[in-house]
Structure 1
Amino acid sequence: MEMTTEASPQGDVPFTEADFAAIVALVREHSGIVLSTSKRDLVYGRLRRRLRTLRLASFAAYRTMLDGPDGGAERVEMINAITTNLTAFFREAHHFEHLAGHVLPALRPGPGRLRIWSAGCSSGEEPYSIAMTLAAAIPDFGRWDARILATDIDTNMVSLAAAGRYAADRVAPVPADYRRDHLRRLDDGQMEMSPALKALIAFRPLNLLDSWPMRGPFDAIFCRNVVIYFDKPTQRVLFDRFADLLVPGGHLYVGHSESLFRVSERFTHLGRTIYRKLR
């Protein structure tokens, strides 16, 4: 999950400071995302589309819906609408190189248990990149008890990720041998992940602020370009929860603009947004 700015909309529906403040509060309460005033135009543009879909004439009516009996379902749609899922296969390639070159070789010899979590998986490029990395790095990978958990707050993205179908230009960053081994071209020109690769990954909707049903432990967690939108107290709690679910010495990968400096003392920084659990 990542958020970007948009051009200032030409507002045909009034969007008051009270409207914006109420939506900001709801988004923060239910997702942990902190929306600054610089995101006002983005929020307006995205939610104006929701008003059209719902045939509502004002943001006041929309706020009434959010507070009403259908509010829970619409809050999910609201958060889906304002999050922008910017991702790519093998984005920040050094993370996958570290996984293959350092994390996987350190695992005990022979077929064993391996668990990795992609927290904020968006449309699936990250967990599929992890899966291809595992398959290439472990010669007897098919004998391992290996699973990847992929979660995202955006329910629409989780569905797209589980389908595992991408436009041909989207898979361009995938190495040619990986494309040969794990993708097939469909009649409509799209590329689809192989059934074997899909079988490695469990896609689930999950709000990181909610309770987590999984127990772990995980050997590695990818949470990239997610916590930048949380305040420091929320980040601190989240990194503690990640540490609790990692094996001793487990690894955490964060986004290029994210850091655990003065946020968590439970990890040591290995460089290039890679962290190892200390305790």
Structure 2
Amino acid sequence: MIKITEREFELLSDYIKSNYGIYIKKKKQTLLMGRLSGVLNEMGFTSFMQYYNYMLADKSGAGVVTLVDKITTNHTYFMRESDHFQYFKGTVLPYLEHSVKDRDLRIWSAACSSGEEAYTLAMIMDEYFSEKKTLWDTKLLATDISQSVLKTAKKGVYTRERMHPIPESWKVKYFKRRDDENFVIKDEIKNKVIYRKFNLIEKRFPFRRKFHTIFCRNVMIYFDHDTKYELVEKFYDCIEPGGYLFVGHSESLEREKTRFKYVRPAVYRKE
């Protein structure tokens, strides 16, 4: 394994934080070294300084794609933190059904990883609106910084084991068998999700219309205090009044600083 020096770690971790908001603490130095050593070997580099200089000079963007895929943790599963989805269906959707007059729902899965969260939301909305769904635009935006997980999400293929948390009725209604161990999301749900690559630390969000609900769960744990605060402020500015923000249960907003109102654990609202 190629060793990383203190200086190399400092340069590389600063680069990652400046460009992607991910704060890699000193105690994670060995983890970073382990995740990137294979990349250095494949590219013929003998030191992390060579790799760092390559990242700075690379104009193709290929190096950045690999870097992001290696340093991000894309752990997710269907129905993760299921109380959020119950609240979305039981409280948020009834509110939106009566308050969104143009019937154009704008939901954003802001760190969608391999697609389980976005597809879960799409299935919930399909089931909720049922026979009225043709009257509503329920397409949702799903973004992530990692190109590889977006590719996986777009395919919508999941193993039997990964589908275990899904209700049996959903498995029948929204999935079709691909082979003995794999199932694929049916097009009626797959077509409801628009996947895009997006970096949450962009200075300005490019969205022309505001969202009614944003899910950004288990992402801000990787950000330092200032980066997290700036992101939450941007979320607030791009949510409609009355809209909701869902964060991970291991995350929370500073109630004395945020403009969001606390609703329940990991759920906030713009008034």
The TM-score range, normalised by the shorter chain, is over 0.9
Q: Secondary structure at the match of 1:169?
A: coil
Deviates more, 1:244-253 or 1:47-56: 47-56
Quick one: which amino acid aligns to residue 117 of structure 1?
W
User: Out of 62, 67, 84, which is 1:95 matched to?
Assistant: 84
- Closer, same or farther in 2 for the Cα pair 1:69/1:111, shift >3 Å? closer
Quick one: which amino acid aligns to residue 246 of structure 2?
Y
User: Out of 87, 90, 111, which is 1:120 matched to?
Assistant: 111
User: TM-score scaled to structure 2, two decimals?
Assistant: 0.93
Determine whether 1:223 maps to 2:216: yes
Q: Secondary structure at the match of 2:80?
A: coil
Partner of 1:146: 138
- Closer, same or farther in 2 for the Cα pair 1:245/1:111, shift >3 Å? closer
Partner of 2:124: 133
Percent identical:
38
Q: Is the 8 A contact 2:255 2:261 kept in 1?
A: no
Q: Secondary structure at the match of 1:170?
A: coil
Deviates more, 1:207-216 or 1:152-161: 207-216
Within-5 A mapping of 1:1-279: 12-70=1-59, 72-109=61-98, 112-139=103-130, 140-187=132-179, 189-210=181-202, 211-262=204-255, 264-278=257-271
Deviates more, 1:76-85 or 1:64-73: 64-73
**RMSD of the TM alignment (CA)?**
1.7
Q: Secondary structure at the match of 1:191?
A: strand
Q: Is the 8 A contact 2:77 2:117 kept in 1?
A: yes
- Closer, same or farther in 2 for the Cα pair 1:111/1:241, shift >3 Å? closer
Gaps of 5+ in 1: 1-11
- Closer, same or farther in 2 for the Cα pair 1:142/1:53, shift >3 Å? farther
Quick one: which amino acid aligns to residue 76 of structure 2?
T
Rounded to whole Å, the distance in 2 between the matches of 1:276 and 1:262 is 12
Q: Secondary structure at the match of 2:252?
A: coil
Structure 1 position 37, deviation (Å): 1.2
User: TM-score scaled to structure 1, two decimals?
Assistant: 0.91
Q: Is the 8 A contact 1:218 1:246 kept in 2?
A: yes
- Closer, same or farther in 2 for the Cα pair 1:236/1:277, shift >3 Å? same
Gaps of 5+ in 2: none
Rounded to whole Å, the distance in 1 between the matches of 2:265 and 2:240 is 21
Partner of 1:4: none
Paired residues in the alignment total 267
